[in-house]
Structure 1
Amino acid sequence: MTTKSKNPLESSATHLLHRAGQRAADIFAEEAKKSGLTPRQYAVLTAVSQEEGLPQAELVARTGIDRSTLADIVARLLGRGLIQRKRAKEDGRAYAIKLSAKGTKALTKAKPAASTADSRLLAGLSATKRNEFLQTLATIVAAGDDA
């Protein structure tokens, strides 16, 4: 016999995704503390590493980080010498972002910690459930991108 919870938050996708996000951020912070990167900084560095010279507007699209938050992250990464920014050739109003040598080193150092954080976060799921979960999350994200 199953008992229904009286707490409506336990069946709220919005709430549960928020809580899962908090847990993911906490685990990432614990694992990646030596790298000094936040999950969003890691996401930006990873996106830039995939295609250097991306304009900030494209980084917004690829990472899902809002424009003003991304501008702050870029400023912090610039201040730490992890990225370089210059005017884009195609659009003189836009900035193209690329990793510095220091940024490449920081990203390389943080990758194992990020991988461990993902493994810890998903440890309670079987391999099949992990794949299903990640596909479901990707579907939710893609649906938002189409809106």
Structure 2
Amino acid sequence: MTVRASSKRTAAHAAAAPAHAADASEWRHTSLDARPGFLIRRLHQIHVALFIEECAPEGITPVQYSILTALDQMGPSEQIALSNAVGLDRANTADVIARLAERRFIQRRGSRTDKRKKVAELTDIGRALLARLETGVERAHERTLAALPEKDRKQFMAYLVRLVDTNNELSRTPIRRERKRSDAQSDA
């Protein structure tokens, strides 16, 4: 890059800085309960509480439910594929998988194509658990959205999807969409 091009970029950045500073100042003076990050975190806390309440008899967390659902939808999968599908780091995914395996909801085995990799698979006990959770999970989702008029719920969900998809790569654990048929599935 030439000095001239670098100077132009620096000047453009400097010109944009006051506008950015004004935006930052605007947020600083906005009450906490009117900021998107605060509201998104609070809504997440509320949804987790509703999920736990609705699914209390089974003792399953939302993250455990996500892993079980991913396995149900993807079939036998390597830990990294589950981590990518759920947006959870590998260490936490391994911990959740171990806890689910202890309860016999999933089983783990070495990959037939690469012995260093572990493949997780939903068991019949896990499938039965998902069936039992269906009504409670549906109620938790419905209760989370209940304050919105029925006609606005699809639009709200579309906005959530857009925000997550647009900002996915900024996450510590971006969700990676796997191909329909993975090596783990060919291991099955």
TM-score by length of 1: 0.89
**CA displacement, residues 12-62 of structure 1 (integer Å, 9 cap, x when unaligned):** 211111100000000000000012211111111000001211111111111
Is 2:76 the counterpart of 1:63? no
Match of 1:120 in 2: 143
Q: How many residues are aligned here? A: 142
Higher helix share: 2
TM-score by length of 2: 0.71
Higher Rg: 2
1:46 alignment partner, one of 61, 69, 80: 69
| Structure 2, unaligned runs of 5 or more | 1-28, 171-188
- Aligned mates of 1:32, 1:46 — CA distance in 2: 15
Give the deviation of 1:128 after TM superposition: 2.7
- Aligned mates of 2:69, 2:123 — CA distance in 1: 13
Provide closer, same or farther for how the CA distance between residues 31 and 68 of structure 1 changes in structure 2, counting only shifts above 3 A.
same
Equivalent pair of 1:37/1:110 in contact (CA under 8 Å)? no
Identity of aligned residues (%): 31
Give the deviation of 1:7 after TM superposition: 5.7
Match of 1:98 in 2: 121
- Aligned mates of 2:164, 2:84 — CA distance in 1: 11
- Aligned mates of 1:34, 1:76 — CA distance in 2: 17
**CA displacement, residues 85-139 of structure 1 (integer Å, 9 cap, x when unaligned):** 1112333222111111111111110111000100011001122321111111112
Q: Residue 70 of structure 2: SS of its match in structure 1? A: helix
Letter of the 1:77 partner, please give it.
L
